[in-house]
Amino acid sequence: DAGVIQSPRHEVTEMGQEVTLRCKPISGHNSLFWYRQTMMRGLELLIYFNNNVPIDDSGMPEDRFSAKMPNASFSTLKIQPSEPRDSAVYFCASNYPGQGYANYGYTFGSGTRLTVV
């Protein structure tokens, strides 16, 4: 199993540009999570999907952020327009929830380090 695959690994963009981060979950995992990690705030949940349906997007900072999961093997997180304060590491994680909650813990992807200048 290749694990959770994220791309790109690093992204440097100018303020105001659109940024798209991509994630492929582990095959058979039906829950997908997007987290953001900064030194100041730690790991923050942005949004999560179950069976491709967004369940909780309360962590999405503002309308500049959007996420989609068109099928079970692909998700995107888009920031438009990007701002310097969006600079962080963005992690995608997937989970097979077993009895309906995080029984087994998540598996994280390698992350995308985003720098907005």
Give the footprint of other proteins on this chain (CB under 8 A).
31, 33, 35, 41-43, 45, 48, 50, 55-56, 91, 95, 97, 100-111
Q: Which is nearer to other proteins, 74 or 108 (CB)?
A: 108
Structure token pair of residue 116:
């907005």
Q: Are 72 and 92 in contact (CB under 8 A)?
A: no
Q: Which is nearer to other proteins, 59 or 81 (CB)?
A: 59
Q: Which amino acid is at 74?
A: F
The runs of H, that is alpha helices, within the chain are: none
Min separation Cβ 115 and other proteins, Å: 14
Q: Which is nearer to other proteins, 72 or 81 (CB)?
A: 72
Min separation Cβ 9 and other proteins, Å: 11
Please name the residues in contact with 103: beta carbons below 8 A apart, sequence gap of 6 or more: 97
Q: Which is nearer to other proteins, 41 or 71 (CB)?
A: 41
> 107 - beta bridge partners?
94
